[in-house]
C-alpha cells in the first residue's frame, strides 16, 4: 500500500515536472521566434517650402522596405519643391494640414497590414476630399506576367471597398531574411520558398509618385 502511494506520488511529480518544462521550452521558443529585428522607421517633418502644398506619406511596414520606399518618395517630391512629411501610419494624428496624402502598406498573407486598413477607415471622409494615393509592396509582383498582376491587384480589394483612391501604386518589394522574425523567416523563406532579394523598380516607383503629386 505504502509502495503504491509513493509510486503514484512519483508519477504525479514526474508528469507535473514534464509539463512545466514543456510549457517553459515552448513559451521560450515562441518568444525567440517573435523577436523583432531593429527596423528603421523614418519620421520626417519638413519645413514649409512656400509652395502651399503639403504632402503626407504614411507607411505600414513589417520589415522596413515600405518605410524605405516612403522615404525615397519623399525625396522625389521634395526635389519638386513640395513640403513632405513621412510617418509610420499608426503615428498619424491629423491629416488636415495636407493637400495630398499617400499611404503605403506591405502585403502579408495576401492582406494589407491591419494598421493601414484602420487608418483608411478612420480617415475615409477626410481622404475623400484630398488627392489620395495608395501603394502596396509585395513579392507577387516580382513576376510581371498577367496572372501575378491579377493576383496582386486583389490585395487591394478590401481597401477599394472603403475608398476609391486617385491613384494606386503596386510595386515589387523586398525579401531580406535579416529583417524578419525567426517565425516570419521560417514561413516566407523556408516554407513558402520565397525568393530573397530587393526587387524594387525605382524608376516605376519614382514615376508613380511624380505623376501623383
Ligand atoms: C511572412 C511573410 C508573408 C508574406 N506574404 C506575402 C503575400 O501573401 N503576398 C505577397 O505578394 N508578398 C508577401 N510577402 C512579401 C512582402 O510583401 C514583401 O517582402 C514586402 O516588401 C514587405 O514589406 P516590408 O519590408 O515593408 O514589411 C510576405 C512576406 C513575409 C515575410
Question: Mind listing the pLDDT tens digit of every residue in the chain (213 residues)?
Answer: 555 666 676 566 555 555 555 555 566 777 788 898 999 999 998 888 776 789 999 999 999 999 999 999 999 999 999 999 999 999 999 999 999 999 999 999 999 999 999 999 999 999 999 999 999 999 999 999 999 999 999 999 999 999 999 999 999 999 999 999 999 999 999 999 999 999 999 999 999 999 998
- The verdict on residue 39 lying in a domain is no
Shared domain check, 157 and 77: yes
Same domain? For 113 and 158 the reply is yes
Based on the domain organization, do 109 and 5 belong to the same domain?
A: no
Q: Domain total for the chain? A: 2
Q: Which atom of ligand 1 has the smallest separation from the CA of 106?
A: 23
Task: Find the 176 Cα to ligand 1 centroid distance in Å.
Answer: 10
Domain range for residue 18?
Answer: 1-33
Residues 58 and 28 in one domain: no
CATH code, domain with 95: 3.40.50.360
Pocket flag, ligand 1, residue 105 (CB < 6 Å): no
66 and 22 within one domain: no
* Cβ atoms of 33 and 181 closer than 8 Å: yes
- Does one domain contain both 124 and 171? yes
Q: Is residue 60, in this structure, part of any structural domain at all?
A: yes
Q: Is residue 96 assigned to a domain?
A: yes
Asked, for residue 45, whether it belongs to a domain, the answer is no
Whether residue 27 is found in the same domain as residue 85: no
Mutate to test the pocket of ligand 1, among 39, 64, 149, 173 (most ligand atoms within 8 A of CB): 173
Write the DSSP string, the chain. -HHHHHHHHHHHHHHHHHHHHHHHHHHHHHHHHTPPPP-----B-PPP-SSS-EEEEEEE-SSSHHHHHHHHHHHHHHHTT-EEEEEEGGG----TT-SEEEEEEEEETTEE-HHHHHHHHHHHHHHTTSEEEEEEEESGGGS-SHHHHHHHHHTTHHHHTT---SEEEEEE-EE-GGGS-HHHHIIIIIIS-PPPEE---HHHHHHHHHHH-
**Residue owning grid cell 519638413:** 46
Encode pLDDT of 107-146 as tens digits.
Answer: 999 999 999 999 999 999 999 999 999 999 999 999 999 9
Domain assignment present for 67: yes
Amino acid at each position: 500500500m505504502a509502495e503504491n502511494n509513493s509510486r503514484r506520488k512519483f508519477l504525479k511529480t514526474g508528469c507535473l515536472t514534464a509539463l512545466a518544462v514543456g510549457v517553459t521550452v515552448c513559451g521560450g521558443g515562441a518568444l525567440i521566434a517573435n523577436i523583432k529585428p531593429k527596423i528603421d522607421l523614418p519620421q520626417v517633418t519638413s519645413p514649409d517650402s512656400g509652395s502651399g502644398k503639403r504632402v503626407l506619406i504614411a507607411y505600414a511596414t513589417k520589415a522596413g522596405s515600405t518605410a524605405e520606399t516612403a522615404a525615397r518618395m519623399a525625396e522625389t517630391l521634395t526635389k519638386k519643391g513640395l513640403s513632405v512629411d513621412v510617418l509610420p501610419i499608426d503615428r498619424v494624428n491629423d491629416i488636415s494640414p495636407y493637400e495630398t496624402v499617400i499611404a503605403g502598406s506591405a502585403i502579408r498573407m495576401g492582406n494589407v497590414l491591419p494598421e493601414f486598413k484602420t487608418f483608411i477607415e478612420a480617415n475615409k471622409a477626410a481622404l475623400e476630399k484630398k488627392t489620395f494615393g495608395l501603394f502596396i509592396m509585395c513579392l507577387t509582383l516580382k513576376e510581371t506576367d498577367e496572372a501575378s498582376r491579377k493576383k496582386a491587384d486583389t490585395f487591394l480589394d478590401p481597401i477599394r471597398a472603403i475608398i476609391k483612391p486617385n491613384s494606386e501604386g503596386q510595386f515589387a518589394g523586398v525579401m531580406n531574411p535579416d529583417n524578419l522574425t525567426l517565425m516570419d523567416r521560417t514561413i516566407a523563406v523556408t516554407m513558402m520558398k520565397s525568393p530573397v532579394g530587393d526587387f524594387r523598380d525605382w524608376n516605376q516607383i519614382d514615376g508613380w509618385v511624380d505623376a501623383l503629386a
